[in-house]
Amino acid sequence: MKMANVFAKNLSSKQVMATDGTEIGILYNIVMDIRTGDLIDLIVKPDMSLDTSKYKVDEQYILLPFESVRAIKDYIVVDKNIARGLTPEPVEI
């Protein structure tokens, strides 16, 4: 499904949620590449109850790769495995 373009300021302080429904935190900022315009990481202020040990931590924030974003509307929904920098587990046939 194609997501519409969004204004960056509309995203500030949006709730970040995983695809399994767990709350991750509040969006604080986004890291971009100035030259190419690529969006690289979400900087998220983690929820108090979140175990941050599984994420890339930068001081009081956690960094989630932008590839993990599944949807942005009223919430920002991210794929937990990709957000933790893990590749999806290989499926055994």
Partner 1 sequence: MRADITSLFGLNIYTETGTYVGKVADLVLDVDERKVRGLAVSDINKDIFDVTSRGVILPYRWVITAGDIVLVRNVVNKFRKANKVVEED
Q: Which residues of the chain form contacts with partner 1 (CB under 8 A)?
A: 2-3, 5-9, 11, 29-40, 43, 66-67, 69, 72
Q: Closer to partner 1 by CB, 9 or 59: give it.
A: 9
Is 32:40 a contact under the CB 8 Å cutoff? Answer: yes
Q: Closer to partner 1 by CB, 10 or 53: give it.
A: 10
Of 24, 17, 18, 35, give the one whose Cα is nearest residue 75: 17
Q: Taking the CA of residue 88 as centre, how many other CA atoms within 13 Å lie in the half-sphere pointing to its CB? A: 6
Q: Closer to partner 1 by CB, 7 or 48: give it.
A: 7
- Nearest distance, CB of residue 1 and partner 1, angstroms: 9
- Nearest distance, CB of residue 29 and partner 1, angstroms: 5
- Nearest distance, CB of residue 92 and partner 1, angstroms: 30
Is 72:65 a contact under the CB 8 Å cutoff? Answer: no
Q: Alpha-carbon distance 19 to 16, whole Å?
A: 10
Residue 42, amino acid? L
- Nearest distance, CB of residue 47 and partner 1, angstroms: 21
